Amino acid sequence: ETGVTQSPTHLIKTRGQQVTLRCSSQSGHNTVSWYQQALGQGPQFIFQYYREEENGRGNFPPRFSGLQFPNYSSELNVNALELDDSALYLCASRLDSRRGYTFGSGTRLTVV
């Protein structure tokens, strides 16, 4: 198993810009979720995709959007970046509902 890989590991953007974060899940992992972890806090659920369709969303505005691809990769897009978007963004995937999620190491986004 190759695990969950996220890229880039670190990123600095300017307020108002757009960013795309990427995640590569293990083969067969049809479910992928994205979380935002602010410094010193627990991860907050952004949304989840199952077989390329969004099937759950947390309390995040529409400028947070995503895509999931047939090759088990996914993207998190954030438009009109704000300073408060600075956080660690985690991707997590799983094979099926009986198994726990496997998390990537995250992308550290800094908005200046």
Partner 1 sequence: GDSVTQMEGPVTLSEEAFLTINCTYTATGYPSLFWYVQYPGEGLQLLLKATKADDKGSNKGFEATYRKETTSFHLEKGSVQVSDSAVYFCALLSNDYKLSFGAGTTVTVRA
Which residues contribute to the site for partner 1 (CB under 8 A)? 4, 6, 31, 33, 35, 40-45, 48, 50, 55-56, 58, 90, 92, 97, 100-106
Contacts of 95 (CB under 8 A, 6+ apart): 26, 28, 29, 30, 31
* Whole-number Å distance between alpha carbons of 84 and 35: 14
Pairing of strands 31-37, 87-94: antiparallel
Instruction: Please state the closest distance from residue 103 (CB atom) to partner 1, in A.
Output: 4
The smaller minimum CB distance to partner 1, of residues 48 and 74, is found at 48
- Please report how close the Cβ of residue 15 comes to partner 1 at its closest, in angstroms: 25
| CA angle in degrees (0–180, nearest 5) for 19-104-53 | 65
β partners of residue 110: 12
Task: Specify the residue, 79 or 105, whose C-beta has the smaller distance to partner 1.
Answer: 105
Question: Which of residues 19 and 34 has its CB atom nearest to partner 1 in the complex?
Answer: 34
- Cβ proximity of 93 and 26 under 8 Å: yes
Q: Rank residues 16 and 28 by Cβ distance to partner 1 and give the closer one.
A: 28
